[in-house]
Homo-oligomer: A and B are copies of this chain.
Amino acid sequence: MPDRQHPVVADLGRRVATGELAAGSQVVPEEVAAQHGVSRSVVREALRVLEAKGLVQPKQRVGTRVLPPERWDALDADVIGWRVQGPERLAVVSDLEELRAAVEPRAARLCCERADAADLAVLAELAAAMRQLGSRGDLAGFTASDVAFHARLLRASGNASFVRLEGTFAALLKAREDLGTLPHQISQEVLDLHVQVAEAIAARDADRAEQAARELVDGARSEVLTRLGEPPP
């Protein structure tokens, strides 16, 4: 989020991740340079970035080729953002929700040991804000608070690996928003569960925190999936 991408990276990344450039096809630097009106060095640097994200791999004499999807960094926020613009929307969102379901309950449990007073205050505040915004129907505000809530949960877990997933899940929620898979009316249950998670952590009740987080994330998951499954192309 803090760093914006070079247009060449964004364009190539999107074209690869949406499948417009098929796996195995060749990316010719000179052509890309001409298309974007930039020099070869700019394209080379862009390709280094895409290489780091697992989208392409250069090889002397054979050229820089697009790698198959299983090589792509499925947890990279940019990759997620690009992929959801393609035909794999559902699979991407579904897989990430599954990961979230695995991670957040455990993070909530850890929070009970490691969260400090500031964490507790922020979580309570955000849960309250979500209840406000959600019942008022302010979708944008709700989503912002939602992202902040889950990000804080991960951070408060004190585990750098979980913190790393902040960006991943933020990209997931943003994707859900962009795709209009959010309900227009936030269910009371979801609002309550956020509050419950915050309260359980504040009470240092690990089992209850884990359980509430599990229900929350399982609920969100099934809701999104039915919504995504609904409109058949």
**A residues engaging B (CB < 8 A)?**
2-3, 41, 44-45, 48-49, 51-53, 57, 69-70, 73-75, 91-92, 95-96, 98-99, 101-103, 105-107, 110, 159-165
Contacts and interface: CB of A to CB of B under 8 A. Distances in A.
Contacts of A96: 161
A8 B36 CA distance: 28
A136 to B, nearest CB: 33
Interface centre among A2, A44, A51, A99 (most CB of B within 10 A): A99
A3 B57 contact: yes
Nearest to A106: B102
B160 A74 contact: yes
Contacts of A165: 75
Identical copies of this chain, number: 2
B48 A164 contact: no
A145 to B, nearest CB: 22
A160 B70 contact: yes
Chain A, interface SS category: helix
B45 A161 contact: no
A206 to B, nearest CB: 14
A74 B161 contact: yes
8 closest Cβ contacts across the A-B interface?
A: A52-B52, A102-B106, A99-B161, A74-B164, A48-B48, A95-B161, A74-B160, A95-B159
A116 to B, nearest CB: 16
A69 B107 CA distance: 20
Interface centre among A2, A74, A106, A164 (most CB of B within 10 A): A164
Contacts of A106: 98, 101-102
A98 B3 contact: no
Contacts of A3: 51, 57
B49 A159 contact: no
A105 to B, nearest CB: 8
A73 B161 contact: no
